[in-house]
Amino acid sequence: MREPETGPAGTNWGATELYVSHGRTVALRGVSLAAPAGQVTAVVGGDGAGKTTLLRCLAGSLGPDSGTVRRPPKERSGYFPASSGIYEDLTVAENLDFRANGYGLPRKAGRDRAAEFLERAGLSGVAGRLAGHLSGGMRQKLAVIAAMLHRPDLLVLDEPTTGVDPVSRSGLWWLIARAAAEGCAVVLATTYLDEAERCTSVLVLDGGVALASGTPDQIVSAMPGALRAVPAKPAGDEAALSWRRAGRWRLWDPAGLADSAEHAAGRPPAGSANGAIVPDLQDAVTVAALARQSGVLTGGAA
Amino acid sequence: MWAMIVKEFRQLRRDRRTLAMMIVLPVLLLVVLGYAASFDVKTVMVAVAGPQSGLAAGLLKAPSFDITQSAPGRGRAWAQDQLRDSHDEMAVVTGGTRPLVLIDGSQLFAARAALTDLAGVRYHVGFTGTRPSSVSPKVVILYNPGLTTSDIMIPGLCGVVLVFVGTIITSLGVVRERQSGTLEQLAVMPLRPRDVFLGKIVPYFLVATVDLAIVLAVGIAIFGVPFRGSPATFALGALLFLFVTLGIGVLISSVSQNQGQAIQLAMMTLLPQVLLSGLIFPLTSIAAGVRWIAYFLPLTYFNEISRGVMLRAEPIAALWQPFVFLAVLGAVVVTGATLRFRGYLAPAGHRRGGGTAAPVPQEAGI
């Protein structure tokens, strides 16, 4: 087993040029990611984009075929796997107790830490309840605080908010933001682009390839072409470049000129005379995926 | 209803193991049981001792009796040792006024066969030179004088209990981590694979030990089963046997995706052990074509040890064979289980033999 590179606190954790294949399927093709301390980095992409594979490499449960992973030693990493990693037949307190012991926290410190995090997550009242009897949102919260209980330097969260109601989602975000504020480098996968917009930086994955990366603003302004609102699904070649959002059809014109002045002014994305739309992150990500699928831009990912 | 039937068959087709169990298992059971299910001991192994050994050997005719040893210079003590150490099932000691026949009661079915066959012999035992009339031998049944079934079953059941906890419960416990997705969490925690392996196994080990103690206590207190031999020898045998069964449990869990599959496989290892280990049917009655399987089953060896120690006070020196076999089986199984378990926990991706030329993705050159 190769040892991860380690460094002093504040090191940029992350991965460089990762290639991973599961049998014949190539899950990641040359993906790189930087996870600076104190920041929340989002990995977005559709199903099968390679998010979980990338996160597993970062967490150390999967070794890449090639490429390097920079992560702290095991005891300084925290991981929330897609399966949440919680024992349903243990109580909330017992789950946290197991993690505290497993990460070598002293008994007293472990108990205090658990109490503190339970309080933060609003789970103090259910400490004695079996994890399997918690609601979905509560269970996700428990899994997140279990992953951050030992205050890791790098916290890897695989879709912590999927299937969680809006109130629990904001609670989870508060927990995550607080961990980052305490100096932890957080990497999380999400399918919600409104969540990604709140992150410091975003990596857009599609089919195992990085389509775009940077701050949400950078990704939006780097979107090639322009967007237009159209009244109905266009016919012909344009059909492949259009999608429906909020009840209306949007069409991407790869050759169009972006209305960068409007974007800089932060005007709301309202239709102007020719139906032009100021794109947001969701548009930019959709366009990136469309561009790759339709092969309009032959340059590929940067 | 048609929709259900179609769905059920589709699911069944995917579940290869259940399908295999449904088709292969009945056939296998039929064949194995057909050859194994026999309490008839056709040949009793006999040792003869004393000055008239040759005469006695001549009277005990094949195929009912098989004279394996003849020692004219030895006496009763030697003969009894042959039974204690399982070399023979019956011993005839000549030289007294009446020949003495010792029968090993811990070999229940052989003992019964010997008694039946002796009935035919008795009337012809005429000792020329002493008296013209026939003399009937004095028959002494050792180790299980009442020829009670519980005396031979309970030492064997100790082994079944250990198989049950060791294999079935352990395989369930380990596969549960995989099924619930917590194994991945364990893999990233700062725990050494050995710690996880041992941490997973030690609780079952303790439970199995307590179970064994309970079965022994109940057997001795309620069924009056004797415990004549050395507890240390018995404990060592149980320890080795438990290692094998725990290892099999971990191996099963490493090739099972869920608890259902684990149970199926565990039952498949339990069934032949119960049927073929000599627990129920005497090994010598099992047809040779099937009997060889018994020598790969750990319970076969544990049975020899537990019956030998509990009933006959067999010393460890005489039991070296089952001990060695158990140790070898244990080493093989535990090594395999540890390797499989390590594979679980170590980052996959680049599997073992990372030195081999990995297929470099085409894009790597760009």
From the candidates A20, A25, A62, which should be mutated to test the interface with B, based on the most B CB atoms within 10 A? A62
pLDDT at A210 > cutoff 60? yes
Mean pLDDT of B286-298: 83
Chain A residues lying within 8 Å of B188, measured CB to CB: 59-61, 74, 77, 79, 81
Q: What's the mean pLDDT when you consider all of chain A? A: 85
Residue B120 confidence class, pLDDT cut points 50, 70, 90? low
Q: What is the Cβ-side half-sphere exposure of residue A124, based on CA atoms within 13 angstroms?
A: 9
Residue A2 pLDDT class (50, 70, 90 cuts): very low
CATH class of A13-213: alpha beta
Write down the mean pLDDT value for chain B.
80
Using the structure block, give the residue that is written with the tokens 């026949």. Answer: B101
Report which listed range, B101-110, B140-149, B233-242, is most confident: B233-242
Laid out side by side, the sheet with A66-70 consists of A25-35, A13-22, A66-70
B64 and B188 belong to one structural domain: no
Does residue B294 sit in the same domain as residue B229?
A: yes
Chain B interface with A: residues with Cβ < 8 Å: 180-182, 184-185, 187-191, 346-350, 358-361, 363-364
Q: Looking at B88, B116, B142, which one is the last position of a domain?
A: B142
Lowest mean pLDDT among A252-266, A278-292, B314-328: A252-266
Query: What is the Cα–Cα distance from B128 to B62, expressed in whole angstroms?
Result: 22
CA dist., res. B58 & res. B92, Å (int): 12
Are residue B220 and residue B138 in the same domain, yes or no?
no
Claim to verify: residue B167 and residue B257 sit in the same structural domain: yes
Please answer whether residues B117 and B65 qualify as being in contact, where contact means their C-beta atoms are separated by less than 8 angstroms: yes
> Residue B354: is its pLDDT beyond 70?
no
Where is the domain boundary, B142, B175, B204? B142
The position carrying tokens 């279990």 is: A146
C-beta atoms of B190 and A103 within 8 A = yes
Beta-carbon separation of A60 and B346 below 8 A: no
- Judged by CB atoms closer than 8 Å, whether chains meet at A86 and B346 is answered as no
CB B270 within 8 A of CB B167: yes
**For residue A3, pLDDT beyond 70:** no
| Higher per-residue pLDDT: B156 or B344 | B156
Residues contacting A294, CB < 8 A, separation 6+: A240, A241
Q: Judging by beta carbons within 10 Å of its beta carbon (0-12, 13-18, 19+), is residue B291 exposed, middle or buried?
A: middle
Mark whether B133 and B159 lie in a shared domain: no
Q: What is the pLDDT of residue B364?
A: 31
Domain residue ranges of chain A, discontinuous segments joined by +? 13-213, 217-294
Structure confidence by residue, pLDDT tens digits, B1-13? 888 998 888 888 8
Domain hosting B90: range is 44-142
pLDDT tens digits along B168-183: 888 888 888 888 888 8
B164/B260 same-domain check: yes
Note whether B349 contacts A63, CB cutoff 8 Å.
Answer: yes
ipTM exceeding 0.90, yes/no: no
pLDDT exceeding 70 applies to what percent of chain B?
90
Residue predicted with more confidence, A220 or A163? A220
The stretch A20-42 carries a mean pLDDT of 90
State the pLDDT at residue A43. Answer: 95
Count of CA atoms in the C-beta half-sphere (13 A) of A121: 30
pLDDT for the residue B353 = 32
Residue A274 is predicted with a pLDDT of 67
pLDDT tens-digit map of B181-231: 888 888 888 888 788 888 888 898 898 899 889 989 998 898 888 888 889
Provide the domain count of chain B. Answer: 2
Three-class HEC string of B223-271: CCCCCCCCHHHHHHHHHHHHHHHHHHHHHHHHCCCCHHHHHHHHHHHHH
Q: Which two tokens stand for residue A45?
A: 């992409």
In a domain, B34, yes or no: no
Residue A294 or residue A8, greater confidence: A294
Give the per-residue pLDDT at B130.
Answer: 53
The pLDDT, as a whole number, for residue A297 is 55
B340 pLDDT more than 60: yes
Question: Is residue A90 within 8 angstroms of chain B, CB to CB?
Answer: no
Hey, how many other C-beta atoms are within 10 angstroms of the C-beta on B146?
Answer: 10
Report how far residue A172's alpha carbon sits from residue A140's, in angstroms, rounded to the nearest whole number.
8
Per residue in A59-114, pLDDT tens? 988 889 999 999 999 889 999 998 888 999 999 999 999 999 999 999 999 999 99
Where among B142, B169, B194 does a domain terminate? B142
For residues B65 and B104, membership in a common domain is answered with yes
Nearest by Cα to A146 from B185, B217, B315 = B185
- pLDDT band, very low/low/confident/very high, at A296 (cuts 50, 70, 90): low
The pLDDT of residue B132 is 45
pLDDT of A106 reads 93
Whole-model pTM over 0.95? no
Least confident segment among A50-54, B155-159, B286-290 = B286-290
| Within a domain: B294 | yes
Q: Measured between alpha carbons, how far is B160 from B154 in angstroms, rounded to an integer?
A: 9
Contact B281, B37 (CB under 8 A): yes
Mark yes or no for CB contact A86/B189 under 8 Å.
no
Do B314 and B175 sit in the same domain of this protein?
yes
Do A75 and B361 make contact, defined as CB atoms within 8 angstroms?
A: no
What confidence tier does A264 reach under pLDDT thresholds 50, 70, 90? Answer: very low
The region of weakest confidence among B69-73, B134-138, B247-251 is B134-138
Give the residue on B whose Cα is nearest the Cα of A75.
B190
Q: Is the pLDDT of residue B324 over 90?
A: yes
- Do B88 and B124 share a structural domain? yes
pLDDT at B311 over 60: yes
Write the pLDDT tens digit of every residue in A109-147.
Answer: 999 999 999 998 889 999 999 999 998 889 999 999 999
- How far is residue A134's CA from residue B224's CA, in Å, rounded to a whole number? 51
CA distance A102 to chain B (A): 7
Count of Cβ atoms closer than 10 Å to residue A14 Cβ: 21
With a pLDDT cut of 70, the percent of chain A lying above it is: 88
d(CA A291, CA A240): 10
Q: How many CB atoms lie within 10 A of CB B152?
A: 28
CA–CA separation, B167 and B285 (whole Å): 27
Please compute the mean of the pLDDT values over residues B143-171 and round it to a whole number: 85
Q: Is residue B33 part of a domain?
A: no
Beta-strand relationship, A242-245 and A248-253 = antiparallel
Interchain CB contacts (distance < 8 Å): A and B: 76
Contact between B189 and A102 using a beta-carbon 8 Å cutoff: yes
